[in-house]
Amino acid sequence: MSYALRNSLILLVTLLLIAGTAFTYIKFVQQAEINDLATELESLNTDYNNKTIIRDKYPPLLERFNKAKDIVQNYDKKLYTYNNPDDVYDYLSEINDENLELFYDFTYQDSVVNNQYGILQSRIVGTGIYSDFVTFINKIENSLYLNKIENVNVTPATGEATQDYVDFTLTLNSYYQKIIFETASDIQQKFRINPTISVFNPLKPLVLNSVPANVDNLTNIEQSRLIGLTSTRIFIIDQTGETKILKPGDKVYLGYLREIDSENKEAIFNLDKGGIQEIFTLKVER
């Protein structure tokens, strides 16, 4: 074999080895990498398309969120933060501490769970002055935390010195958060009332069996003497022997001084004797 032919065969074999190696690398290595890159590209395109959709939806969703946030933050009510009956009891105690004469038992009964909020159900049984009871209900329903009152039962109290007391029972529904969301946290007035609600006691008899006692030690004009008067003042000696000066509108036991009649030297009083209205006149003693 000639030297030239041998070199040609060696060169041919070398080229075949290089070609085979290249084919094998392309077929089994680069093709796999290409497939992986194609799959990754498809995934990235899908993710890009999804994020493009989210991007397009973001502005209207942000606008809706801001509107909803403004509504919540400007609303004068909020929900209890936790499912804890003690929070409700403490809140009611704060209301009752504001010079209200009420005595009651608070009993937690149940908790109702909804999708985004829950309801604590409690029962309240007690007694108190009717006007204070109405104010208590007024504050519960109009103050900061969201409470709803149901099944109210009110009856005249028995064995009380005055007839202003009532016995009452009610069911209280207190709403609490299940999902934490922003609420108005800077509301200054925690307790509020509706001033248009009347506190007149419809259960109290129009005419009482007895008149109220003179617990404030007011001037009892039926046991007093009128010793002098001017156009704006009267001078009397009250039931204790003390000299008192009164002007129109001043309170006395069971009523008030209505007017001064200088011409006839009289003082005219309006008295309420347990629902019976009387006009009582004192004349200057001579």
3-state SS string over 150-185? Answer: EEEEEEECCCCCCCCEEEEEEEEEEEEECCCCCCCC
User: What is the pLDDT at residue 257?
Assistant: 93
Tens digit of pLDDT for each residue in 219-251?
999 999 999 999 899 999 999 999 999 999 999
User: What is the pLDDT at residue 211?
Assistant: 79
User: What is the pLDDT at residue 98?
Assistant: 66
List of the chain residues with pLDDT < 70: 1, 3, 5, 7, 13, 22-23, 25, 28-29, 71-75, 98, 159-162, 181-189, 206-207, 286
Separation CA 86–CA 165 (nearest Å): 27
Domain ranges of the chain: 1-74, 85-177, 221-283
Domain range 85-177, CATH class: alpha beta
User: What is the pLDDT at residue 96?
Assistant: 84
User: What is the pLDDT at residue 23?
Assistant: 67
User: What is the pLDDT at residue 168?
Assistant: 95
User: What is the pLDDT at residue 1?
Assistant: 59
User: What is the pLDDT at residue 204?
Assistant: 73
User: What is the pLDDT at residue 136?
Assistant: 94
Q: Which residues fall within 8 angstroms of residue 263, CB to CB, at 6 or more apart?
A: none
User: What is the pLDDT at residue 207?
Assistant: 67
Give the Å distances, CA to CA, from 91 to 102, 146, 170, 264.
15, 11, 16, 58
Listing DSSP states for the chain in one string gives --HHHHHHHHHHHHHHHHHHHHHHHIIIIIHHHHHHHHHHHHHHHHHHHHHHHHHHHHHHHHHHHHHHHHHHHH-S-B-BSSS-HHHHHHHHHHHHTTT--EEEEEEEEEEEE-SSEEEEEEEEEEEEEHHHHHHHHHHHHHSSB-EEEEEEEEEE-SS-SSTTEEEEEEEEEEEEESS--------S--S---TTS----TTS-SS-SSPPP-TT----GGG-EEEEE-SS-EEEE-TTS-EEEE-TT-EETTEEEEEEETTTTEEEEEEEETTEEEEEEEEB--
User: What is the pLDDT at residue 269?
Assistant: 95
Tens digit of pLDDT for each residue in 103-152?
999 999 988 888 778 999 999 999 999 999 999 999 999 888 999 999 99
